[in-house]
Amino acid sequence: MKKPFALLFAALLFGAALRAPAEPPPGPPQPPPPGDDPVARSLYPPDRVLAHAQEIGLDDAQRAGIRSELQKAQSRFLDLQFDLQPEAEKLAQLLQEKRVDEAKVLSQVDKVLALERETKRTQISLLVRIKNLLTASQQAKLTEFQKAGQSN
């Protein structure tokens, strides 16, 4: 008598589990899917702007402005890369120890993150400056190209 009841109970539980909506696994929130970046929707990378230069009617002054901003940013990126490399190596060395000194690691992580933050800040600054060189109609055209999935 107990065995049929146990089988019925197991069948009900199994059926309920199949009908239950799937929940995302616990853990940190997941980033939005690729292509669904609200920042990327509002800014235009220099390669996209230059690839569509003729279609959006980019003039010589705008080209010169973009070139100037790119040169400044590339110089800064290079400096940051040279600064970041040894700091990342120091972090890797600290983590290879048999007994890791957490305070030293976290201090080094702060240095690495500060350089990465400055890199991202420089990147966003470049993209904002490029956007500000464009007219509203040029921005609208580039947004259309982005929505259509055209990258160049």
Domain boundaries, the chain: 39-147
Query: In this predicted structure, what is the pLDDT of residue 31?
Result: 54
Q: When comparing pLDDT for 75 and 34, which is higher?
A: 75
Tell me how far apart the alpha carbons of residues 64 and 49 are, in angstroms, rounded to a whole number: 13
Predicted confidence (pLDDT) per residue in 104-121, tens digit: 999 999 999 999 999 999
Query: In this predicted structure, what is the pLDDT of residue 29?
Result: 57
- Could you give the dihedral angle defined by the CA atoms of residues 91, 93, 94 and 97, in that order, rounded to the nearest 10 degrees? 150
Tell me how far apart the alpha carbons of residues 151 and 100 are, in angstroms, rounded to a whole number: 45
The rounded mean pLDDT for the chain is 83
Query: In this predicted structure, what is the pLDDT of residue 147?
Result: 85
Tell which residue, 134, 118, 38, has the closest CA to residue 78.
118
Query: In this predicted structure, what is the pLDDT of residue 16?
Result: 43
- Does 20 have pLDDT greater than 50? no
Predicted confidence (pLDDT) per residue in 125-148, tens digit: 999 999 999 999 999 999 999 888
- Does 69 have pLDDT greater than 80? yes
CATH 1.20.120 assigned to domain 39-147? The reply is: yes
The alpha carbons of the chain give a radius of gyration, in whole angstroms, of 26
Tell which residue, 127, 110, 111, 122, has the closest CA to residue 79.
122
Query: In this predicted structure, what is the pLDDT of residue 40?
Result: 83
Task: Out of 20-24, 42-46, 106-110, pick the least confident.
Answer: 20-24
Q: When comparing pLDDT for 36 and 16, which is higher?
A: 36
